[in-house]
Each structure stands twice: as C-alpha cells, then as structure tokens.
Amino acid sequence: QVQLVESGGGLVQAGGSLRLSCAVSGRTFSTYNMGWFRQAPEKPRALIAAIKWNGVSTYYADSVKGRFTISRDNAKNTLYLQMDTLKPEDTAVYYCAADTGRTYSSGYYRETSYNSWGQGTQVTVSS
C-alpha cells in the first residue's frame, strides 16, 4: 500500500512563496499520475494541479495557473508544489494524491482518478 506524507505548509504573507513536498513510499512511483488537491473551510476538496507519470504533462486549475508549479522527482519518489504570489484565498489544507489504480495512464487531469491520499498540510496566507 502506498503512503504519502506532505510537508512544507505554514503561515506566509500575501505575495510570498511556499514549497510543498510529498514523499511517497513504494517502488512504482514513476508509473502513476500524481496530483495536489486543496480544501478550504466549508468548500469541497478540489484538484488544483496534476502531473503525468513521466513528468511531461501538467494540469492546473485556473485559480492557480501562472502562480503554482507542480513537479516530480521519480528518482526520489517525491512530488512538489511550488507556490508563488500567494493570496489569502489560497488558504486551505493541501493534500497530495496518487492514482495508484492505473499505471502509465493519460488521465492525470481527472479529479476522480485519484484514490490514495496524504494526511494534508495546512497553508495559511495572511493579508
């Protein structure tokens, strides 16, 4: 069973940056798609960024496009989310997710593809 552990959350002022990391256990990390979700209070959890198993293709929600960058290091079994120009509305719990039900899939942008989750890390952006 895959385990996902996020780190890097915290409190930052508007306009600042944070980098989230997600360490993933298991030897098949390079075969499945990965994503970052977030959930703000009283809102549903939503996919904000995703990356294909080979790192070639990415997806971003409109709310973060141009400010956030998703990347992965398959040699280190680690997923990243670089968050720049943060806004108060980015405040949420951020979750790392994996589509472990499929290998070498092209559906990295589909929210419903993801079936494994980390425990989440809080990001708070003050105005």
Please, what sign has the CA dihedral across residues 44, 71, 7, 68? negative
Show the beta-strand stretches assigned E in 56-120. 58-60, 68-73, 78-83, 92-98, 116-117
Place of tokens 């997600």: 22
Residues 6+ apart with CB under 8 A from 8: 18, 19, 20, 21, 121
Q: What is the pLDDT of residue 27?
A: 81
Q: Tens digit of pLDDT per residue, the chain (127 long)?
A: 899 999 999 999 999 999 999 999 988 999 999 999 999 999 999 999 999 999 999 999 999 999 999 999 999 999 999 999 999 999 999 999 999 999 999 999 999 999 999 999 999 999 9
| CA–CA distance, 91 with 123 (Å, rounded to integer) | 5
Task: Specify whether the CB–CB gap between 103 and 33 falls below 8 A.
Answer: no
H or E element at residue 51:
strand 46-51
